[in-house]
Structure 1
Amino acid sequence: MTTSYDVVVAGAGPVGLFLACELAVAGVSVLVLEQQESPESPWKVGLHGTRGLHIHSIEAFYRRGLLDKVLHNIDVPGHVGRVPGYDLNFAAHFASIRLDPKNADFSRWKYHLPLPQPAEAKLFYPAPTSVDTLEKTLAERAESLGVRILRGVEFSDYTEDGETVTVSAGNQTFTTKWLVGCDGERSRVREAAQFEFPGTPAEFRGYVVHCDLANPEVLQRGFCRTAAGMYIFPAPGHLYVTDFETLGLKGGDEAITREHFESVLRRVSQTEIVVTELHRAMSMTTHLKQTTTYRKGRVLLAGDSAHVHPSFGAQGLSIGIGDAINLGWKLAATVRGIASPTLLDSYNGERHPEGARQLEWARVQLSLLRSNPYSLATAKLMKDLIATKDGNTFFIEHIVGLTKLYNLGSAHPAIGYSAPDFEFADGSRLGAKMREAQLLVVDFTDDHAVANYVQSLGSAVRYSGSQPKDAIDLKALIVRPDGVIAWASAADKIDLAELKTELGRWLDLSKLETEADATAMVMERMTLKNEAEISVTAIPITATVAA
């Protein structure tokens, strides 16, 4: 049994499994350790297992060819807001204040081109999936790529010696080059590596409940903000409640009796609701915390291991997938020895600010949900601001994910945005060219010198010379494996020297060129050998005919 791997990932949730797939598709050997013996759980299915994917997560699964497997289909017309007569008045919410896609300024999103349906239909609100669906889809893909998943084997400790990390899990020991903690809010990897984890304490208790109600008609369906908190009533018998008064509840989920939840729901909803039976209940108090760095030596963190915050607006899962797709290709290139010197450090440089921003937005929403006069007055002002086109557009683009992702340069305004899903003349799309998580050079000028150079770099970089139906104002792009535009040009002629410089920001070009030369030499020798064997085999046949 193999005990040595390039990367060991702790945690087989959606973030850990997505990361494992990203590493494995690049040829990196991966072991995933999971504490739970079985992936099955009633909290991963049904309404309470439902999670939302925002646009960047939708794009991540789409670009890897997995979207149709993880997206729960909902019949919604495409490109909401551009479909005549279609009435959708909910995009997402900010502290229970609804955002309206019909009141958005689409001209601000120049570099977003519609995805294929049904993906684009989910652009303006969290696309529904479930934890169960995500984990099963990603586990199947991971194992098909050679990832080993060990369930019922919990990470316990590690030691680091130079370029080797020794991982202890259960009664087993594994060696690896890198250890990544994707093991959630109570991360043992984070604790073992002694990452600093500052933040603010929990301020509310959230309840997730499946129950029977005697008089459900007294509750408002959907999101409801009251003077005492907030509740969400999405379907009969299913409730999500935010309560600021039972923060210190003792005894965990066992303490949530029918009577207790009924009293909480009555106070928050300000109704005489009657709970007749409690089928299943869970509560949580979420701190707002973030590690000071996402890397310590040969240990990295992603997802809730690195940052925890309330899941307002379905942000938690999406930011975790964002961590995984950003880290995956960078760590893979580092393992393979083809990364630029600063590539892996850019993971922390790009994702840590995003985690910090999510915490800031969560704190603002918490302050608006409180029931004191100051919060209520601020919430009213915020509601008026969101009612304006500019205010509504600002919140939609930040929550949904249509803003610039990273500050990567100013040579062209598209740099740092998610790449448009160009549709090409032959009917193919850019997303389909990103299945193998390679750096992609997209050339609309049909420059043979560029094509020859990129193809000389081997499999780490791919060239696309297809012509798009709508190029916007672009002539050439470098698209990273995570879908982010690393460089763009509107010039009719590509500056090859500039292109090489930009590629060199991410990959060690001299190493790629050396590897490509070595591969070409091997292929040439094999060709000559095969030709020689054919000639030798042919000699007796010729002699026989001559005789």
Structure 2
Amino acid sequence: MKTAQKNDYDVVVAGGGPVGLFLACELRLGGADVLVVERLAEVDETIKAGGINTAGAVTLYRRGLLPDLAAAWERNRWRMRAFLGDQKREQGADAPRTPPKFAGHFAGIMMRGDLFDDSDPAFTDIGPADGVGLGVPQVELERILGARAERLGVEVRRGVELTGFDADDAGVLVRLGSDHTVRTGWLVGCDGGRSTVRKLAGFDFPGTEPEITGYQAVVEMSGGERLGVGWNTTDVGTYVNGPFPGRILTVEFDGPPADRAAPVTAEDLQAALRRVSGVAEVTVHAVHSSTRFTDNARQASGYRRGRVLLAGDAAHVHSPFGGQGLNLGLGDAMNLGWKLAAVVRGTAPETLLDTYTAERHPIGAWVLDWTRAQIAVMRPDRHARALRRVVTDLALTSAGTTYLVKQISGVWQHYDLPGDHPLTGRSAPDLELADGSRLGDHLHDGRAVLLDLADDPKLRARAEGYGDRVDIVTAACPGRPELTGLLVRPDGFVAWAAGQGDGGEGLEETLDRWFVAV
């Protein structure tokens, strides 16, 4: 009889960027033993995502990271203010006391904050995370999550590259470098758009081919006073100047680069900026950070193959427009983490992992189309420019701005879960409870919460057998008297909700669906 091999780790996460680190933290909260391997020896300082949307900020708030996020946001607000002040002074105008209210953009069409209707029900009870994180760069978030992983005892090995693996029904043997192996129960690829894990595991990765070449960089330059501030559309393409000194972005619709992996030089950036802006005097003297990108849009057909799973850019790639990629990856990690940890602990069957793809794949598909739509209205041809004028007119209405902000912010996202209550399957409202706490305060430990809002002992009794998986909180909520109970999953989404007169109907079935032990 063959003896089962002992695993060195419950889960190995390939990739130590924000998604990989956040997933590792979620797994540790759930009781899993995790190893993160990252090929880079240090945190990647390359300029990437520039902010976190509302859904992303709420996700981090639910794990107690709002103070760190708010501090990073405040530091970057001052950078933006200084940049805007310098630009105003160069134009002979007074510097603004505070940055203008930012509502976001669609394909570089800037939306006015004063047109946004924040009374829309989608923005009800978001809580203190609302508006925090808009200007937090990816590198700062990675540092925040790295510190959290260290506090939680996650083992992170930097300068270590996953070079291969062999998976079977019992686990995965992972090869690290040329001469080291570890055995794990599960492997998750969070190793980016060119994911080694995805390729070696044989995931299908269909999508659409790129048609643009884009650059994003932080540079030292002269002659930039003639550049427009913010997003600018020209007859050639699009360029961005700001929102902090030296940050530039260019987009040209002349096809993908011949070699996307080639180093980005000052000459590359200068030539692209001159072509797109038409400002011949602008000169790039030094490059502090740079990246080349396209609008290649692809998504894995499924996010799991046996004991190998994908999250973040390893599962889906697209252009950066609209700032959705990092937020999408955080949502993947939040959804997968508690489920995989429950499977590892033996408190859930492997079939629970099927809900990961079922819930996250549609949102990933939406993001790909959202970025494709922006490419369509950024093209420099005559038909696209006519379309852009129509979209601009719509965007600069209250209804149009509110719709676009709702999409960009991620507050619309929901899962198709059983139940008739309008909150079921949606991100839980951050209810302010009579004891002074908020719902988000009770989610820091990564456990599900049954919120008894009517002090109903029968309701609490139904959850008594799940004490190691579900926390029971009894508290009134004066602001939402129509609610009597909520069952909130560890990822902050409502699995069950009850109103006045509903009692506990359907609660047992929901508890069994998500938290029954195998």
Identical aligned pairs, as a percentage?
A: 39
Q: Give the structure 2 partner of residue 501 of structure 1.
A: 509
Q: Give the structure 1 partner of residue 74 of structure 2.
A: 74
Q: Give the structure 1 partner of residue 400 of structure 2.
A: 391
**Cα deviation, residue 326, structure 1:** 0.4
Q: Give the structure 1 partner of residue 455 of structure 2.
A: 446
CA spacing shift, 1:107–1:142, aligned 2, 3 Å: same
Give 1:251-270 correspondences, 5 Å limit. Answer: 252-254=261-263, 256-258=265-267, 260-270=268-278
Q: Give the structure 2 partner of residue 202 of structure 1.
A: 210
Q: Distance in 2 between matches of 1:350 and 1:255?
A: 38
CA spacing shift, 1:138–1:146, aligned 2, 3 Å: same
What TM-score results when the alignment is normalised by the length of structure 2?
0.89
The one-letter code sitting in structure 2 at the alignment partner of 1:94 is F
CA spacing shift, 1:411–1:254, aligned 2, 3 Å: closer
**Cα deviation, residue 357, structure 1:** 0.7
Q: Find the residue that maps to 1:446 and give its secondary structure.
A: coil
Q: Distance in 2 between matches of 1:333 and 1:279?
A: 46
Q: Distance in 2 between matches of 1:344 and 1:252?
A: 34
Note the alpha carbon deviations across 1:311-361, whole angstroms, 9 max, x for none: 112111000000000000111111112225642101000111111111111
**1:344 equivalenced with 2:356 (yes/no):** no
Contact residue 260 and residue 292 of structure 2 kept, 8 A:
no
**Cα deviation, residue 467, structure 1:** 1.2
**Cα deviation, residue 276, structure 1:** 4.8
**1:147 equivalenced with 2:154 (yes/no):** yes
**1:435 equivalenced with 2:444 (yes/no):** yes
Q: Distance in 2 between matches of 1:16 and 1:371?
A: 37
Q: Distance in 1 between matches of 2:393 and 2:254?
A: 28
Q: Find the residue that maps to 1:203 and give its secondary structure.
A: coil
**Cα deviation, residue 6, structure 1:** 0.8
Q: Give the structure 2 partner of residue 35 of structure 1.
A: 39
Q: Distance in 1 between matches of 2:311 and 2:255?
A: 30
**1:304 equivalenced with 2:308 (yes/no):** no
Contact residue 111 and residue 420 of structure 1 kept, 8 A:
no
Indicate which of 92, 96, 102 corresponds to 1:90: 102
Q: CA RMSD in A?
A: 2.3
Indicate which of 490, 505, 524 corresponds to 2:499: 490
Q: Give the structure 2 partner of residue 355 of structure 1.
A: 364
Ranges in structure 2 where 5+ consecutive residues have no aligned partner = 1-5, 78-97
**1:237 equivalenced with 2:246 (yes/no):** yes
CA spacing shift, 1:73–1:153, aligned 2, 3 Å: closer
**Cα deviation, residue 395, structure 1:** 1.4
Give 1:303-382 correspondences, 5 Å limit. Answer: 303-339=312-348, 342-382=351-391
Q: Find the residue that maps to 1:73 and give its secondary structure.
A: helix
Q: Find the residue that maps to 1:202 and give its secondary structure.
A: coil
**1:181 equivalenced with 2:181 (yes/no):** no
Give the total of aligned pairs.
Answer: 488
**Cα deviation, residue 262, structure 1:** 2.6
Ranges in structure 1 where 5+ consecutive residues have no aligned partner = 77-85, 512-547
Q: Find the residue that maps to 2:430 and give its secondary structure.
A: coil
Contact residue 49 and residue 323 of structure 2 kept, 8 A:
no
**Cα deviation, residue 423, structure 1:** 1.2
**Cα deviation, residue 252, structure 1:** 4.7
**1:15 equivalenced with 2:19 (yes/no):** yes
Indicate which of 10, 20, 33 corresponds to 1:6: 10
Contact residue 54 and residue 400 of structure 1 kept, 8 A:
yes
Q: Give the structure 2 partner of residue 539 of structure 1.
A: none
**Cα deviation, residue 219, structure 1:** 1.0
**1:227 equivalenced with 2:235 (yes/no):** yes
Q: Give the structure 2 partner of residue 63 of structure 1.
A: 62
**Cα deviation, residue 114, structure 1:** 4.2
Q: Find the residue that maps to 1:320 and give its secondary structure.
A: helix
Q: Distance in 2 between matches of 1:293 and 1:52?
A: 27
CA spacing shift, 1:277–1:4, aligned 2, 3 Å: same
**Cα deviation, residue 145, structure 1:** 2.2
CA spacing shift, 1:270–1:410, aligned 2, 3 Å: farther
CA spacing shift, 1:341–1:489, aligned 2, 3 Å: farther
**Cα deviation, residue 246, structure 1:** 6.6
Q: Find the residue that maps to 1:394 and give its secondary structure.
A: helix
Q: Distance in 1 between matches of 2:123 and 2:255?
A: 46
CA spacing shift, 1:164–1:87, aligned 2, 3 Å: closer
Q: Find the residue that maps to 1:157 and give its secondary structure.
A: strand
Contact residue 12 and residue 34 of structure 1 kept, 8 A:
yes
The one-letter code sitting in structure 1 at the alignment partner of 2:115 is N
Note the alpha carbon deviations across 1:102-150, whole angstroms, 9 max, x for none: 323434325721422xx3233xxx6222333222222222233232111
**Cα deviation, residue 181, structure 1:** 0.3
**Cα deviation, residue 217, structure 1:** 2.1
**1:99 equivalenced with 2:106 (yes/no):** no
Q: Give the structure 1 partner of residue 131 of structure 2.
A: 121
Indicate which of 157, 163, 166 corresponds to 1:159: 166
Note the alpha carbon deviations across 1:351-405, whole angstroms, 9 max, x for none: 1111111111111111111100111111111111222332222211111112141
CA spacing shift, 1:267–1:454, aligned 2, 3 Å: same
Q: Distance in 2 between matches of 1:213 and 1:462?
A: 56
Contact residue 63 and residue 431 of structure 1 kept, 8 A:
yes
Q: Distance in 1 between matches of 2:118 and 2:143?
A: 36
The one-letter code sitting in structure 2 at the alignment partner of 1:73 is W
Q: Give the structure 1 partner of residue 279 of structure 2.
A: 271
Q: Distance in 2 between matches of 1:257 and 1:487?
A: 55
**Cα deviation, residue 268, structure 1:** 0.9
Q: Distance in 1 between matches of 2:270 and 2:350?
A: 58
Q: Distance in 2 between matches of 1:334 and 1:97?
A: 45
Contact residue 293 and residue 319 of structure 2 kept, 8 A:
no
What TM-score results when the alignment is normalised by the length of structure 1?
0.84
Q: Find the residue that maps to 2:218 and give its secondary structure.
A: strand
Indicate which of 285, 288, 295 corresponds to 2:294: 285
Note the alpha carbon deviations across 1:244-294, whole angstroms, 9 max, x for none: 237334585546343x43332122113334215133343223411111110
Note the alpha carbon deviations across 1:62-95, whole angstroms, 9 max, x for none: 111112123423399xxxxxxxxx9955311111
The one-letter code sitting in structure 2 at the alignment partner of 1:22 is E
Contact residue 266 and residue 284 of structure 2 kept, 8 A:
no
Q: Distance in 2 between matches of 1:458 and 1:412?
A: 25
